[in-house]
């Protein structure tokens, strides 16, 4: 059984889409999607520097576009499962057939702009908490008035909330844990993003989703979602809810996934899988970053693909 994964914010790299311009139709596709996203995806994916693509309003539609662009060159009919991390869920939903690609790009543009606007309302941020006892980590995060915005597995949590709370967390970390401040605009996946959740709910009101054509996992609880309307509601809710990537990886293992392709910009999710599943069995992984990686990805699909 093969899964295709779509990464989230923080995985982007300057110029990562440049090699894809060698493929026919790439530039035209990016220009078309740029009109829907409200940002210049061609420039952002090829010429923009690290600071420019760190902007939430730009990064989110760029990542969804990258995933959909690369997946166009894969035999997706033989892919059994899709999942995405944070904004990557929009790409995964499109690849599962819940949303048209154009709708996913449009919603990513709305999501990015509105989350950036919410970040500007008051000073907030995020910090990675690495190691420590999971229960103690969660208790310490709550003690400082913060939220567990991401539970990424492999001993990695992300705390989010007020700047003061993050400073206290850094000064008084959980035992045997390291706290690393993240260079992000604000406290994603927390109640601070409530205005963005409301805006995304409005944007999705006119969309009629389809039911998934393959297994589609949700960041909310790691569950496979079989109803398109339910998935859209989950995508909206996820703006303020924690990302439970740990549960998504557990579901991948429980379903017996033996092959994984991470879409560009690939590497982050592959690393988490390798660390989290090292004792139970790591699936064969292809990180798809350039067209040169397409033969390996297609070969993996041919050997481990097919619907469950």
Catalytically active residues are 86, 189
Instruction: Note the helical H segments in 72-172.
Output: 88-95, 101-119, 134-143, 163-171
Sign of the Cα pseudo-torsion (198, 202, 208, 213, in order): negative
């Amino acid at each position: 059984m093969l899964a295709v994964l779509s990464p989230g914010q923080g995985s982007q790299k300057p110029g990562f889409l440049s090699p894809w311009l060698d493929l026919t139709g790439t530039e035209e596709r990016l220009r078309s999607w740029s009109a829907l996203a409200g940002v210049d995806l061609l420039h952002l994916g090829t010429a923009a520097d690290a600071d420019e693509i760190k902007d939430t309003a730009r990064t989110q539609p760029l990542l969804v576009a990258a995933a959909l662009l690369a997946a166009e060159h894969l035999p997706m009919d033989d892919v059994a499962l899709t999942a995405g991390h944070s904004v990557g869920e929009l790409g995964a939903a499109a690849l599962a057939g819940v949303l048209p690609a154009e709708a996913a790009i449009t919603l990513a543009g709305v999501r990015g702009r509105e989350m950036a606007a919410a970040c500007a309302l008051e000073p907030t941020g995020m910090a990675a908490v690495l190691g420590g006892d999971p229960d103690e980590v969660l208790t310490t995060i709550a003690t400082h008035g913060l939220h567990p915005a991401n539970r990424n597995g492999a001993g990695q949590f992300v705390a989010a909330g007020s700047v003061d709370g993050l400073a206290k967390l850094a000064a008084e970390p959980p035992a045997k844990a390291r706290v690393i401040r993240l260079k992000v605009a604000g406290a994603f996946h927390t109640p601070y993003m409530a205005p963005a959740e409301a805006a995304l709910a409005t944007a999705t009101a006119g969309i009629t989703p389809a039911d998934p054509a393959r297994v589609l996992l949700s960041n909310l609880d790691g569950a496979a979602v079989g109803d398109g309307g339910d998935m859209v509601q989950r995508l909206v809710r996820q703006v303020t809810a924690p990302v439970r990537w740990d549960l998504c990886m557990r579901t991948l293992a429980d379903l017996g996934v033996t092959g994984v392709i991470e879409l560009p910009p690939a590497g982050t999710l592959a690393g988490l899988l390798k660390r989290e599943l090292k004792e139970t069995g790591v699936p064969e992984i292809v990180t798809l970053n350039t067209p040169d990686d397409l033969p390996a990805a297609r070969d993996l699909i041919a050997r481990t693909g097919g619907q469950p």
